[in-house]
Structure 1
């Protein structure tokens, strides 16, 4: 039974929402963020990545960065760039990218559900990244970035969404990357109560994206509980900001790999070793090879594309992790041939989200990497199966598009 509740969102004025809404803090570096906000004082990056407003020599994890984030957020509230809804509500958030829609419910979810594994995870988190967002949320006294959750579709929730999305939208704008963002306000108490009850029939929610934000939000909630030993469980710090999408709406793109060297092998030696576990077929056409089915991979080396097909016996079909394409490549090529033991920490491998296209792989090889691999995307069902099994995916297994914008909704913890 999932706990999903309404909240009094702090959100931008209608005339400024397109200027405030920003990409998540972790999809760009500090210098890129500085460039993005040069002509936009309203961007939420001034909150989510506040070091852009400080001296470039400032350590991004310094206390002054979190203080600046807090001051910027509440400065925007004082200037009426942000308003707070007078009553607790839920919201519908639709994104449209290349004609494809994903439509979710914006609400708050329970830190207890996270701790009790009703909210399922599929990734490990890193302590230093968690601590950064713990400090950020704690200083801001708010969840500033939503957690991207999914669930197995429920017809009655779909029907409510269909009814409300026929009404006039609260926000409707197109971001600089051409993605449409449309928001509807659900301020009818009966509808909100019905949605809360319907989500009680959802056995599990799954984190699609935002594991570090979720873990950090939960740990801030735990800190607040220690500070308030007489808490009753209804306080806002017991919940965190989420956008909850039905699984059928979601689209996972390929998450591709590029490697700096062949681990001392010549090209011929490398191809010979690869052929032990993969069938290798040179591509006759000049276009990049995009895998169209599981267990197939594109490989770009020495200005030529090859199709790799995993041979039988190279993986366990019944194991949800071992049968992932990212695992097949890691366990049969990247680790044994190229000696990349841990992709999280190796400086010899890099990852390229599918949104950049396969030409980006060619470009990276021409610029100094030696070999690139195009991947078949992980499916949402594979993600759920792994989470249900209590397992974790290899790093960089999923690339979701479109990305949720930060700054459209803020959830205050007081």
Structure 2
């Protein structure tokens, strides 16, 4: 039974929260980062890139220490203020496409992660886990929640709706990406207890996005627990900040694939090898996007193709085998194009499914890539089944919404 607890969030003041909130650091181009930091002294980017103040790049432990210093400066200057009472936070995002996401920001249990009550569907890289664990230990806070999803629950849905409809939001602001954010605080003990009881009735909840952050938080928990001779289980390191949304709110897009070469094959040789697994139809100049699982689109040499799996050529033994990202890997990327490591091979790049097939076409026509593949998105049930079976998806199998911002609520260790 999942355990969630309220916490005293550190939050920007209402007047400047829209200036503080930021996308993940790596999602900005260099020019975008420079512009925001030059003209917005409140941006959370100043905290995660503390070397900007000294006009130099800093890395490792030195950077972590400076991140902590910048964070403490923001608190000292009154940019950040900590709530007086432990709370849950109802958080709503309305994006530029009109999609709405509503859920609860809470602290979730590292032991639940250890015991597979919080389930994962992606592999993580040990080096990245350790790096972020060290970061958390030094800076002492986490500013971006892990995205978790839970089965739709009428009681929790009523509390969220009632909170939104009967109270003024603590925050309401719109970002330059044209998504609008709202936050309400729940600090009544009775309401908190009701929410906790509803989550305790659930068998499991699932990581939708943030596998490395949750894994690193778990490593931090193990380290701190071992060092603390008076460990009680209620210390802040026992938990990590999460944004929990119902499964019906989760939006999953695919990641399409772009490949730089045909692995030494001519176009004709490649198509002959492809014919083993797929029925191939040339669609000419007309952009094609697949509408069914196990069908793919392909753009090669100025033309679109549709690929239909020959069912006799591929056996579905596990839930993972049915995933289109795995199917594409096992039938084309690995055996024909020679791509074994989807995470580190420089010959492959990914484009999230919010971009249409014209993006694939443009990337190939530019000469940077030789071939592109489009697929259908997976769904929540596939994601859950793979997690339940103890399997993991290939890298870049899902592009999941909502995408969260840093610096809106902060969890201190």
TM-score, scaled to structure 2: 0.95
Equivalent-residue separation in structure 1 for 2:9 and 2:391 (angstroms)? 34
Q: How does 1:285-300 map to 2 (within 5 A)?
A: 286=286, 288-300=287-299
In the alignment, what sits opposite 1:339? 338
Q: 1:57 to 1:46 in 2, by over 3 A?
A: closer
Give the Å deviation of 1:406: 1.2
In the alignment, what sits opposite 1:111? 110
SS in structure 2 of the partner of residue 225 of structure 1: helix
* Contact 2:285–2:303 under 8 Å retained in 1: no
Q: 1:49 to 1:275 in 2, by over 3 A?
A: farther
> Does residue 412 of structure 1 match 2:412?
yes
Aligned mate of 1:89, from 77, 87, 94: 87
User: Which segments of 5 or more consecutive residues in structure 1 lack a partner in the other structure?
Assistant: none
Q: C-alpha root-mean-square deviation of aligned residues, in Å?
A: 1.7
SS in structure 2 of the partner of residue 313 of structure 1: helix
User: Which segments of 5 or more consecutive residues in structure 2 lack a partner in the other structure?
Assistant: none
Q: How does 1:165-180 map to 2 (within 5 A)?
A: 165-166=164-165, 167-180=167-180
In the alignment, what sits opposite 1:46? 46
In the alignment, what sits opposite 2:163? 164
In the alignment, what sits opposite 1:71? 69
SS in structure 2 of the partner of residue 298 of structure 1: strand
Q: How does 1:398-409 map to 2 (within 5 A)?
A: 398-409=398-409
Give the Å deviation of 1:37: 2.8
SS in structure 1 of the partner of residue 86 of structure 2: coil
TM-score, scaled to structure 1: 0.95
SS in structure 2 of the partner of residue 165 of structure 1: helix
Equivalent-residue separation in structure 1 for 2:54 and 2:227 (angstroms)? 31
Aligned residues: 410
Q: 1:316 to 1:93 in 2, by over 3 A?
A: farther
In the alignment, what sits opposite 1:258? 258
> Does residue 18 of structure 1 match 2:18?
yes
Give the Å deviation of 1:25: 3.4
Flag as ranges the 4+ runs of structure 1 deviating above 6 A.
none
Equivalent-residue separation in structure 2 for 1:65 and 1:143 (angstroms)? 15
Give the Å deviation of 1:175: 1.3
Q: How does 1:362-401 map to 2 (within 5 A)?
A: 362-367=361-366, 368-401=368-401
In the alignment, what sits opposite 1:277? 277
In the alignment, what sits opposite 1:198? 198
Give the Å deviation of 1:51: 4.9
Equivalent-residue separation in structure 2 for 1:362 and 1:220 (angstroms)? 44
* Contact 1:282–1:305 under 8 Å retained in 2: yes
Equivalent-residue separation in structure 2 for 1:269 and 1:24 (angstroms)? 42
In the alignment, what sits opposite 2:245? 245
* Contact 1:30–1:52 under 8 Å retained in 2: no
Equivalent-residue separation in structure 2 for 1:371 and 1:352 (angstroms)? 13
